[in-house]
Structure 1
Amino acid sequence: MTRLSAITRGLAVLTILFPFSAIVAGPVQKPSLEIPPSALKHRDDVKNIFRESYNAYRKFAFGHDDLLPVSRRPLDDRNGWGASIVDGMATMKIMGLDDFFNEAVDFVGKIDFSESQTSDTVSIFETTIRYLGGLLSAFELSGKQHNILVEKAKQLTDKMAFAWATKDQTIPWGFIDFTTNTPTIANTVIAEAGTLDLEWSRLSIYTGNDTYRRLAEGSVRTIAGLTDPLPGLAAQIIKPATNEFADNNITWGGGSDSYFEYLIKYARLTNTDDNLFADTWHTAVDSSIKFLLRKSTVGNHLYLAETDNYGKIVHASSHLACFHGGNWILGGKLLNNKTIVNFGLELAEACWNTYASTETGIGPENFEFISDDSFQSSDTIPNRQQREFYEKHGFFITVASYILRPEVLESNFYAWRVTGDTKYLDRAASAIDSFKKFLQVDSGGFSGINDVDDANIQRGDRIDKTESFWYAEVLKYLYLTFDDPDHISLDKYVFNTEAQPFEAPPAKPVYGSGSLLPPKGPYVMKTGNVPLPAISPIPTLSSGA
């Protein structure tokens, strides 16, 4: 029996033993969780890293989007509105860096969000998660004292709303020209169209204008209502003009990731009585377990595979995709489904292995693996060096760079807050050491690196950029890992995909209907060259084991 067959057979048994029913959500965080005394030193280390890297930004790039820390120059690649400032505001407040925060509020009051300061083209997705999310989260965390943050959020979003170009359009264009208020790219991806509802619904609350919520939520409803390549698993590219998928690619990685992420988070943040969001997420996870979960032939690591445009399984993953462990842990807790939580912990374990296996202790951008499901053989590994690496570590690197991404540490944070296992603290501490050793440069800033498996890093081996999500995500997740668990508790806050926390109401007793979505198929997916039969009825997961 293959490992895949074992997983599938085990789920079938669990389904018989634990049929679906309405289930009561428990707390997300482990009750009475406490940090050990040693955690405070690591928390202070993270705060110092933020202070040092942000001071480098202030010295060489203040007011611009990003710092080039090696060449000590600014870069404006997010429309010149000061992305690092706005994106980092919530972290400043959480860390108690009020001098930085107050300076940022003053800066925000002078931004003209009605026009781009650089390229006329504006990304609706990136602008929403970094700027809109940053402004609204900072407003909440500061005790809702700075109304200018909401005023600027409204100014910005009123321009982004032109992404819905026609009266009956439900899927927004991914990019628009802020000068002409017209779309610039014909298609969009589901991560762009489906990662707006947390932020836009929040703006509706603070402005009293429900249009923002209706636009963003309507986009998610449209995507969720289409016939997917697999139940709940939307294809990656969608046409706003026709509301049709333009491909059949399935991935929890870039281009699709945060659409799936927000389904369960929107249900939790809004406590909506509409089960569509939680049930679509639940169905997506169910399909992922049935069709995408794979164990590596070395190390027995659990990964989520992808499919290509022809429905063929691809044994590939990425740093971006490694948010999925934390998302499954969160959603599994909300659904009180231990099966999903345990799979989430296994996914987080495999992603951490990509850090533990490299010379720098930092994980790569992209990687692949070998599974025993007969659809990929070991001779597909490109070269001997990658084959030898795989035989040691259970994955091989396909893109070796690190651009200051947060996802592995994000899932590690969720795993710690839910289980209380101190191994997750040890891992976060290891990451801090690696960052200080390999990423910091003479300017005080922190840079990306081209090869995480080469500890001999010279100037030419660096990626000369500090992404704004270094301040917003990486350092926030690390800080909160070592902070008092009651501070920004996962039972009181929901994080957007840029790690901007939003205040959540008390949890509902139940999220979702306890059942999967009814079939919209027939669904046909190819694994290798063998088409699977249409799925009807949809097999279910255990709700208890």
Structure 2
Amino acid sequence: MGDSFYEYLLKVWIQGNKTSAVRPYRDMWETSMKGLLTLIRRTTPSSFAYICEKNGESLTDKMDELACFAPGMLALGSFGYGPGESEKFLSLAEEDMTVGTSWNILRPETVESLFYLWRLTGNKTYKEWGWNIFQAFEKNSRVESGYVGLKDVNTGVKDNMMQSFFLAETLKYLYLLFSPPTVIPLDEWVFNTEAHPLRIVTRNDGERSVHSNMQHKPPNVRLPGRKEGRHGDE
């Protein structure tokens, strides 16, 4: 119910131009990611990574679509680590793309992560997955007046509702996934949890300047082979 908090620790550091003034947010994010690593499990036999839910000391083998923003967050944050740690978190981000629910209400989190992974690695597989998702929306969710969710993807039974986040976020991230990296570049902009772009800024002598230390090239890693409460009004 507080997952946006972890996302914003990272993004406040990025929007603040990664200066010493905002470094404590990065430090808190890195501490929280150490905790996240204790929740990672893998399926058998396919070995897909997923994030458990924790209630007290109890872990539940369950990962909702809302948690699928995590791969994008991990990929975005991986570029602030040094060698070794950077590769570890980017590799985990690329593994962490499975979810165990049978309903689909066209949420944006998976496409959001595909967008970040494509921008940060250049791996065209993420664009292909995004295109497959869009085609599935067209085939299974398109109706005369818009798009609707599915109560069960196995039966195709529709829920007859189009959530506001489908237009505001899902389609936006799909659009950006197939846009040139110069459209809202990640070295000049950071997205809030509702997919609104905010400019990365600093102020020097009363003048606003834009600068980012984000690397444009990913680490040299081998590419392998998702939040109740994140959107408060959804």
TM over 0.5: same fold?
yes
Q: How much does 1:503 deviate?
A: 1.2
Say whether residues 1:343 and 2:92 are aligned partners: yes
- In the alignment, what sits opposite 1:117? none
Question: Deviation string for 1:513-543 (max 9, x for gaps)?
Answer: xxxxxxxxxxxxxxxxxxxxxxxxxxxxxxx
TM superposition shift of 1:298: 2.0
Distance 1:308 1:411 in 2: 25
Three-state SS of the structure 2 residue aligned to 1:274 is helix
Q: 1:448 aligns with which of 149, 163, 172?
A: 149
Q: Which amino acid aligns with 1:277?
A: Y
Which residue pairs with 1:432 in the alignment? 134
Residues 1:294 and 2:41 are matched in the alignment:
yes
CA displacement at 1:508 relative to structure 2: 4.7
- Return the alpha-carbon distance in structure 2 between the equivalents of residues 452 and 479 of structure 1: 24
> What is the DSSP-based 3-state SS (H/G/I as helix, E as strand, rest coil) of the residue aligned with 1:317?
coil
1:303 Cα shift? 1.3
Aligned length: 204
Cα deviation code 1:223-262 (max 9, x no counterpart): xxxxxxxxxxxxxxxxxxxxxxxxxxxxxxxx12211111
Give the structure 1 partner of residue 11 of structure 2: 265
Structure 2 counterpart SS, 1:411: helix
State, as a whole percentage, how many aligned pairs show the same letter: 34
* CA distance, structure 1, for counterparts of residue 190 and residue 41 of structure 2: 29
Please say if residues 149 and 161 of structure 2, whose CA atoms lie closer than 8 Å, have aligned partners that are also in contact: yes
| SS in structure 2 at match of 1:403 | coil
Shift of 1:342: 1.3
Q: Which aligned segments of 4 or more residues in structure 1 are displaced greater than 3 angstroms?
A: none
TM (normalized to structure 2)?
0.81
The equivalent of 1:472 in structure 2 is 168
Residue 190 of structure 2 is aligned to residue 494 of structure 1: yes
Structure with the bigger RCO (C-alpha within 8 Å, sep 6+) is 2
TM-superposed CA distance for 1:287, in Å, is 2.1
Taking the aligned partners of 2:187 and 2:193, their CA distance within structure 1 comes to 17
Distance in 1 between residues matched to 2:53 and 2:124, nearest whole Å: 32
Superposition pairs for residues 213-232 of structure 1, below 5 Å? none
Q: 1:274 & 1:305 partners in 2: Cα distance?
A: 30
Q: Residue type matched to 1:497 in 2?
A: T
- 1:320 is the counterpart of 2:66: yes
SS in 1 for 2:63: strand
Matches within 5 A, 1:106-185: none
> Does the 8 Å CA contact 2:16/2:22 hold for their aligned counterparts?
no
Over 3 Å counting, the alpha-carbon distance change for 1:342 and 1:465 in structure 2 is same
TM-score (norm 1): 0.36
Q: Larger Cα Rg: Structure 1 or Structure 2?
A: 1
Aligned-pair Cα RMSD in Å: 2.1
**Aligned twin of 2:55:** 308
Q: How far apart in 2 are the matches of 1:424 and 1:275?
A: 31
Unaligned runs of 5+ in 1: 1-254, 355-366, 368-396, 510-543
Cα displacement (A) at 1:452 = 1.4
Aligned-partner Cα distance in 1 for 2:22–2:193 = 22
Q: Distance in 2 between matches of 1:471 and 1:426?
A: 21
Instruction: Please name the residue that 1:237 is paired with.
Output: none
